Chains A and B, each alone.
Chain A
Amino acid sequence: MKRNVARSLSFAVLLCMPTVLLAADILWPSFMWTEANNAPVLMLLKEKFEQDNPGNTVKNVTVPIAVFWDKQFADVASGNAADIATLYDPDLRAYIEADMLEPLDNYLAAAGISVDKLVPTERLAQKGGKTYAIPYTLNARALFYNGKLFREAGLQPPTNVDEFMAAVRKLRKPEAQQFGYATISKPGAANLVYIEIMPIVMGFGGGFFKDGKPSANTPETTAALKFIKTLYDEQLIPRGMDTTTYRQLFVQGKVGMYATGSFFAGVVASGDKDTYANLGARPLPLPTDRAMSLTAFFAIPKGAKNKDAAGKLLMRLLNEDIQASIVITGKTYPGRIGMVPASFVQENPWFKAFEQASLTARSYAPEGVEQYGNEIVKIVAEHVEAMLFTGVSAADTGNNLQKALTAFMATKKK
């Protein structure tokens, strides 16, 4: 008798599910709804999803990037979570470790997508055999360069670290406010400091954590820190400038090289036709070919009111049409492997460097302890700032960092 009741109850529930699905209004706050790169992609997704699932709508709410992360946290912390959360690598781990995300395995199975079709950094979204997020874009870093400035200086794009430094020096023209390279040179958001230096640190073969253990004073990491410090001390990079401002400087053709994700090409294209026409890209000419990546993940927070609809929406994102749009419009490597149309690469030769990087790129989050990412980032940023702005040597910075990170990890053992 009980089993029959149970069976009919679950059957009734199953019957109800599609009805529940029919009325869903998926709340998706994001800063991407007004970004030139991402808005068309996400709007396409919204359009297709609403077509395929009549009765369901996607409520796209624009939140400015400057307030987005704090607001997302405030919402989650007060039980007011939206249906879709946007998370970069360290935050993703923190949320997973705090058990704040819904597992997506059912939705993946229903859509017939297996996890190994997704980019390697997807492993960050997995715990205990379950998957908690899907990658939207994999922003691997490569080196953009301004071909015009190189031609004027009679240089070829560098192929190793010595040529790199030489090119930076040769392209520096103080009278014209021209710089060879641009990277973080202003105290400020720890995240930005960290993200901007990681391509160099990883390219040297270094990193602040290896397998969950601090590695801040290895020779490779120290060499990378020294490289960065030289750039700042010799005023080879624009000083005291934040990321968005020196990016603008590059767009206006005043910076020779800049390592960042492929999305930046879109920024240059809409900023200055001349610079875009001369835009080239190649893997970072550093001792190793380890590229850094920053993945934008989408997940469903626990407490989301329209879980199943959101799950379906995320799976729709992984369809070929949306994935192709991410490449063509977003100009970034999408979450699924092998989705880059050949025609796109032909028309945009600079993308090759990023395609290459994406397949071997590693996450910028501290290896093995990604969930403490934000705290570690703050500690690293503080010491890097001390190195740049208060004259601490690269070697000492490495050692101080090692001490600080070890002490930090000790507090986590408890």
Chain B
Amino acid sequence: MGTARAGARRLPLGLNWTRRQALVPYAFLLPSFVALAVVFFYPMLRAVVLSFHANTLGAGLGQFVGLSQYTGVLTSPYFPRVLATSILWTVGNVVVVLAIGMITALMRGRRFPARSVVPALFILPWAIPYVAAALIWGWIFDYEFGVLNYLAVATGMAAHKLNFLLGCPDALISLTGVSVWKLFPLGTVMFLAGLQTIPAEYYEAAKVDGAIALQAFRYVTLPGVRNVTIMLTLLITIWTFGRTFTIIFLLTEGGPAGCTENIVIRSYLEAFKFFHIGTASALGVIVLAISLVFSLAYLAYVYRSDRRHG
């Protein structure tokens, strides 16, 4: 039961390469990668170099200290907690975004009034800048004057006011909610496209076989969007693991009591509050390493089982 692809096949482009033709791809790649090297790889390299030196306040490099920044970070009391928070955060985001993305994409398939308007609305959270989103959600979650607490108590859903951003793990859950709110449109859009590539015949065949809705979902829909799921999982994992900053920073700055402090917030604190640039760079490299290992492992797993199923 293979997946239905949109029709593009990989053909080896020309079996008659001349040497000049062999250089063509590199001609295309050169400008982009040169630009990338200058503005991205060089600073990245510099950050790596910084991570092997002592922390200084000024512009030059501190003393070369080998791996001691890394050992310092890995043996520090905060690292396990911060790593756990990052992982929890990432898993939460990926699972919920995938779920809501899929549900909203499926909804588009149904007939209902205002069918053309609703998907446009669903994309709105994507358009709002993170800073504005953080501001308004912070006010909505406010303990004393926030509208959520008012509604929760007034409708009887809660016995007393809730500590949305004040408790642990409440804060982590609330923040994940905001992050998911911002991110799920990406899932919707991608799943929509994926769903559209599944031929209708597959569903009909399933119906003929007597499958009920849930089974059709499991055996036709899910395999049909496999590529989308893989790419979405990878992207969201990388993004939420190593790049989530603004939302947490503006709403709880890592609190309460370090409950929502992920690795990125920690590296911000190290760099800008404690003036430990080397340590912050080491944290950045650790994030890079973990993401890289995860991505490689994930892709290997996913595409190996691909080959097995043919």
Contact = CB atoms under 8 A, between A and B. Distances in A.
A241 B144 contact: yes
A76 B58 contact: yes
A375 interface: yes
A388 interface: yes
Interface in B36-91: 56-60, 77
A374 B256 contact: no
B166 A186 contact: yes
A252 B97 CA distance: 42
Contacts of B166: 185-187, 239-240, 389
Contacts of A378: 269, 273-274
A242 B49 CA distance: 38
B14 to A, nearest CB: 49
A11 interface: no
Given A77-B277, A100-B58, A389-B168, A241 B257 contact: no
B273 A374 contact: yes
B58 A187 contact: no
B119 interface: no
B165 A240 contact: yes
A375 B274 contact: yes
A100 B57 contact: yes
B257 A186 contact: no
A69 interface: yes
Given A374-B274, A389-B166, A188 B252 contact: yes
A382 B257 contact: yes
A188 B165 CA distance: 10
Interface centre among B164, B254, B257 (most CB of A within 10 A): B257
B272 A73 contact: yes
Interface in A46-85: 69-70, 73-74, 76-80
Given A73-B275, A98-B58, A386 B144 contact: no
Contacts of A375: 273-274
Contact of B59 (A69, A77, A390): A77
A302 interface: yes
Interface residues of A, number: 39
B272 A70 contact: yes
A241 B143 CA distance: 7
Q: Which of B253, B271, B274 has the most CB of A within 10 A?
A: B253
B163 interface: yes
Contact of B253 (A95, A189, A303): A189
Interface string A350-392: 0000000000000000000000001100100111011011100
B192 interface: no
Contact of A77 (B58, B253, B259): B58
B258 A382 contact: yes
B81 to A, nearest CB: 10
A385 B163 contact: no
A330 interface: no
Interface of B: 56-60, 77, 141-146, 161, 163-168, 171, 252-260, 269, 271-275, 277
Given A74-B272, A389-B168, A407-B77, 10 more contacts: A187-B165, A187-B252, A188-B253, A240-B144, A241-B142, A302-B58, A303-B59, A375-B273, A378-B269, A389-B255
> Which 9 residue pairs are nearest across A and B when measured between Cβ atoms?
A187-B255, A240-B143, A79-B59, A187-B256, A389-B256, A386-B257, A385-B257, A98-B57, A239-B143
